[in-house]
Copies of this chain bind each other. A is one copy, B any other.
């Protein structure tokens, strides 16, 4: 009964995917709406996911020589304006601080929408010689962009992210850094989040404000829409020139350094939800699940059940993030609750199981039940968690494969875009007019020019002129 009630509490995915999504983020207690319009509260369960993401990524950044720093959250107007393209991109959507206490500020400041300008200002101070290069910095923080429409985790006025900012003696080194970080993002998404991604480069239209090249990982959500899940930018020496950053090179000559920036945000939580979730709620990849295994005693009023379950839980705590629920809720209610919260494995243990020295393990991703000897739990549980990860990845990959189409003419593109949500692979002449035409006629944007190029046809899907690049097109979050 209770289970039914909980399950009914969320809209089904097929009925209304957007409603399903907002139901899940609320019912799984990931977030709550706040009195601050467009900003959200990330609740303990949601924040624990972010902490797990941070921990793994931070380790990957540090292994590759990056160091964390903390920059101010404010940017004086004059600083924001130093790089022309950058200010044009961001000024229309920043929050402005105009007063400190009762006094009007001499110069207004925005709350950082991103921190390139602050890092440049700092680099100018601390870099003199080639010996000071490279600087491989990162910061974990929140930033603010004054969005008109918002959705939990996907687009909010304040959001948490990490922003890496590096500076190098040569363009080649900066380029290599840009690609290295994109690869780290892709590896993280695929291995730890079980989300397959397409790696590629953005078209000029979709580039970050001020970048020479923007690289991206694009994921496909369950509904066929694209989610840009991480970006890495190569800046050339544009910012350095705008900020007057110079260094003395090994030949004792003044030179201009090259920069990069790269970031992922709490959007990744949105990606997890929309890639793996189902009509029972959240489904979490084990690597970032706050609870990896929930122990549910069955018929716990019977003698010895709670004790045995607690013993099993105590053992499993040492091999995974385990939890036990000994509340007086019914097992059915508990099943539904931890399904809603996306816990990868459930361990059921009742009197008959105890008699047989066994328990039942249930996978959240496919509902598979396995009877396991209590003696083998320490080896079986980590293996099953690995299987859940693989199951999630394969399911997501199958969804993407199924929903990836090719088009060789505009009519075909429109026909697919109107009827089959997904990625559309099509050739492009590199003319921005065609890109805009596709947006207008088919409602799709270019997601990326994938590293893995193919020649689907020889002509641009839009204008028929000779094609230069294969592009992934799609509707995006």
Q: A residues within 8 Å of B by Cβ?
A: 32, 34-36, 39-44, 47-48, 50-51, 67-76, 79, 91-102, 109, 111, 118, 121-122, 125-126, 137, 141-142, 144, 146, 157-158, 160
Contacts and interface: CB of A to CB of B under 8 A. Distances in A.
A91 B100 CA distance: 10
A250 to B, nearest CB: 14
Query: How many subunits of this chain does the assembly comprise?
Result: 2
Contacts of A157: 100
A40 B92 contact: no
Contacts of A72: 34, 36, 39-41, 158
Given A97-B97, A146-B101, A47 B69 contact: yes
Given A34-B121, A72-B158, A96-B97, 20 more contacts: A32-B122, A34-B71, A34-B72, A35-B118, A41-B118, A42-B69, A44-B137, A47-B70, A48-B67, A51-B68, A70-B142, A70-B160, A73-B142, A74-B158, A92-B101, A93-B101, A94-B101, A95-B100, A97-B97, A101-B146
Which 5 pairs, one residue from A and one from B, show the smallest C-beta to C-beta distance?
A44-B67, A39-B72, A100-B146, A42-B70, A96-B99
A92 to B, nearest CB: 5
Contact of A79 (B35, B51, B126, B160): B35
Nearest to A42: B70
Contacts of A126: 32
29 contacts: A32-B125, A34-B71, A34-B72, A34-B121, A34-B122, A36-B76, A39-B74, A41-B70, A41-B71, A41-B72, A44-B68, A44-B137, A47-B67, A47-B69, A48-B67, A70-B160, A72-B158, A73-B111, A73-B144, A73-B158, A92-B101, A92-B102, A93-B100, A94-B101, A96-B97, A96-B100, A98-B99, A100-B146, A101-B146
A199 to B, nearest CB: 29
Nearest to A125: B32
Nearest to A71: B41
A229 to B, nearest CB: 20
A411 B75 CA distance: 50
A45 to B, nearest CB: 9
Which of A36, A50, A158: most chain B CB closer than 10 A? A36
Contacts of A69: 41-44, 47
